Chain A
Amino acid sequence: MERDTLYQRQVIDRARTPAHAGSLDDATHVGEGTNPMCGDRVRVGLSMTGDRVTAIRHETRGCAICIASADMMAGLAGGRSALELDTLGRLFGEMLRTGEGAEQVGELEVFAPLHRHRSRIRCATLPWTALTEALVGAVDGTPDGSKDRRGVDASATRGDGRHG
């Protein structure tokens, strides 16, 4: 069977045993992303000190790509500022579209093969949509506009199809 580079052991293992799943009791910021095409949903809870994320958990109902992406995002978010996460999210979105720039996104590089599966890009960006919502207002000077500026959620794909 052709397994495809997208489904590396790292992705499957992370989806099966996520390290950052669950709810955060003392969350100061929460956000949610849903994909109406398939019913997948990611909820993110954050604790922040100043503009830095001090704790993050996610509750994800979705495919392996979505769960692994959410968990890796949560792993990378701790200790970073809202602005840094905004930048990382945009670089991630750019990599998913083009397949390039993998060296700039840390372990999220495992999702680079997604650029060949346009209909699945949304699965990887859904956690970032939730994070963006949680961070609205936390990015200096971009209270509500931050959502539109992010590359990751603006051009959600429509590949799942609604026919048939």
Chain B
Amino acid sequence: MNNQAREVMLDIQGLEVHFETRRGLARAVNDVDLQLYKGERFGLVGESGSGKTTMILALLRMIKTPGFIAGGRAVFDDGTDLLALSPEDVRKNRLRRVAMVPQGAMNSLNPVMRIGQQMALTMREHGEVGTGEEFEARVAKLLDQVGLVPEVADLYPHELSGGMKQRACIAQAISLSPRLILADEPTSALDVVVQRQIMQTLRQLQLQLGATVLLVGHDMGLMAQFAERVGIMYGGKLVEVGSVADVFRNPQHPYTQLLISSIPSFERRGTFQGIPGVGLSLLDSPSGCLFHPRCPQATERCAHVEPGLTQLGPGRQVSCLLYEKEETHAAPS
């Protein structure tokens, strides 16, 4: 990654997504601020229930009841706030500005329609016009970009391998040259060799299009290899942000530190380091810092004071009282 100042493409401020349940309100995304740069690969990491998937669904405006976006803004550099778009504009916006590469390619392709047909139909539905031949040529080009032969256009999804299906989904996602590609564990159902091929393809396309990719997942190895910057989520909060090298080599938040030391590697055999305690329940979250009941470095203050996001350096943030100056939270009398 280069050191030049990067332009912010999407500015997310105070994003809140809540779920109304019988047992109360769950804050699935809890006051998240995040800036995504133009043309970067950003990895959002978290365990199940951390809010990472909910966050990208919010950007796509695909949160369904009982969930709802309870606050915040997500403003593109041209002034468009994704969270304020009308339903009609949400649809227009998809694929053109924001596109999604889904987790299970199997469920997102229409099983009874040929690949080429569904790609052309999607483009037409999003306002593209042209003759049948023009669409055929566009489909062939898109397939070529993702490493598929043009004949794939005439096949049905079930005739493709898992990796080919995922490539077809990527071709669909980039069909209108989106500026932001959201990818939710796009390779979790694939074998590792195929995973590597798909991620390499996604990176090449991202570079070609100059798009920003927001990759969501829990595989720390994949994040380390694909992303340039990463954000760590815990219980709906963004707890740490930084360059991939900084976060992996010099993690600051106690949760990130434990998460990184819990990753199995080819360095250690017979030793196991987990994170103490049990995962968080969003319906019964602790006061103060959400991680304090499991945190080995927690102090008495952590049970009462909710940490804000502290700026540690350019593009480097952490949400932990260890890094906050006392006086910021001294109650005014």
Chains A and B bind each other: no
Listed in ascending order, the chain A residues whose CB lies under 8 Å from chain B are: none
Listed in ascending order, the chain B residues whose CB lies under 8 Å from chain A are: none
